[in-house]
């Protein structure tokens, strides 16, 4: 049966728009409500209890919009606070487990890299899941936190010297350890995958969490029979609308984000 309720997507900021982009690509008829907690970003530098509190707030807000499924488009929440979804009345998709499965399928030499924020790396979620399913794998973890502001400032064009130097630094260990597969463990990182690919070489597979989460979303909606055959509207909410919101959001989503379709909410009063 058809279900025209929207899909809810949330992230600590705007990086989750890269996941939203992949969901739109795969499910063009679905309505989407996106919440970016831009007033409390970044989550990656916060402690576990704070991250869990924020995740619960974000989920509560999306439920107030009568969503039929929630996607945590945030590597930090997926790694530290996915247990907040245990009591949700709707299905929940996080971005880590599906990307791990894709990496395991892709690797030929069982040497897998994880490029993520500090909190995600510290959680060890990627590594533990990989080793659980592929015990003889070698997992190389690198914190690439500086890539987040680089992306948000729009320094993603081919050959940008700031991006090029950062990518060179962050991929050095992967090259030394001969990894053949890298999980892009932060939602900002697909925007710089071309630069990473150029540095690592064509024989290295990059795993985009947005793509794997979008596939999992589609499969879950099909399984439950709750696809929307006639929607396609998108609404954006943020907890703080900064001066560069439209610019950053448009870069991450890959299409123009009209400020009239963006609403600021007080997440503490939901």
Report CA dihedral (240, 242, 247, 253) to the nearest 10 degrees. -20
Helices (H), 201-241: 209-224
Catalytic one of 14, 186, 216, 251: 186
Closest CA to 26 of 196, 211, 185: 211
Report whether 43 contacts 106 (CB < 8 A).
no
Annotated active-site residue 193? The verdict is: no
Closest CA to 188 of 98, 256, 242, 249: 249
If DSSP codes are grouped into helix, strand and coil, which group holds residue 229?
coil
Neighbours of 192 (CB within 10 A): 24
| Distance from C-alpha of 95 to C-alpha of 234, rounded to nearest angstrom | 20
Report whether 206 contacts 199 (CB < 8 A).
no
Annotated active-site residue 74? The verdict is: yes
Query: Which element (helix H / strand E) includes 10?
Result: strand 7-11
Report whether 72 contacts 93 (CB < 8 A).
yes
Length of the chain: 270
Catalytic one of 14, 67, 74, 116: 74
User: Which residues are registered as beta bridge partners of 208?
Assistant: 184
Neighbours of 3 (CB within 10 A): 16
Residues classed as catalytic = 74, 186
């Amino acid at each position: 049966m058809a279900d025209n309720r929207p899909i809810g997507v949330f992230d600590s900021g705007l990086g989750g728009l890269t996941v939203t982009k992949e969901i739109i690509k795969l499910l063009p008829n679905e309505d989407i409500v996106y919440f970016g907690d831009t007033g409390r970003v970044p989550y990656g530098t916060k402690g576990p209890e704070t991250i869990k509190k924020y995740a619960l707030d974000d989920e509560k807000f999306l439920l107030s919009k009568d969503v039929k499924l929630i996607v945590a488009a945030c590597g930090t929440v997926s790694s530290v606070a996915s247990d907040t979804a245990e009591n949700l009345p709707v299905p929940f998709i996080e971005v880590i487990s599906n990307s791990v499965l894709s990496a395991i399928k892709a690797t030929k030499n069982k040497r897998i890299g994880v490029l993520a924020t500090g909190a995600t790396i510290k959680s060890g979620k990627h590594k533990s899941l990989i080793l659980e399913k592929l015990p003889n794998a070698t997992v190389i973890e690198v914190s690439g936190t500086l890539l987040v502001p680089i992306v948000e400032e729009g320094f993603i064009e081919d050959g940008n010297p700031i991006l090029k130097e950062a990518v060179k630094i962050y991929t050095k260990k992967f090259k030394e350890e001969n990894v053949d597969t890298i999980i892009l463990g932060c939602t900002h990182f697909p925007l710089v995958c071309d630069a990473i690919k150029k540095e690592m070489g064509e024989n290295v597979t990059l795993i985009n969490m947005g793509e794997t989460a979008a596939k999992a979303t589609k499969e879950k909606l099909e399984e439950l029979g709750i696809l929307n055959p006639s929607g396609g509207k998108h609404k954006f909410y943020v907890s703080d609308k900064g001066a560069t919101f439209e610019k950053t959001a448009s870069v991450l989503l890959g299409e123009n984000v009209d400020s009239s379709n963006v609403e600021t909410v007080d997440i503490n009063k939901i």
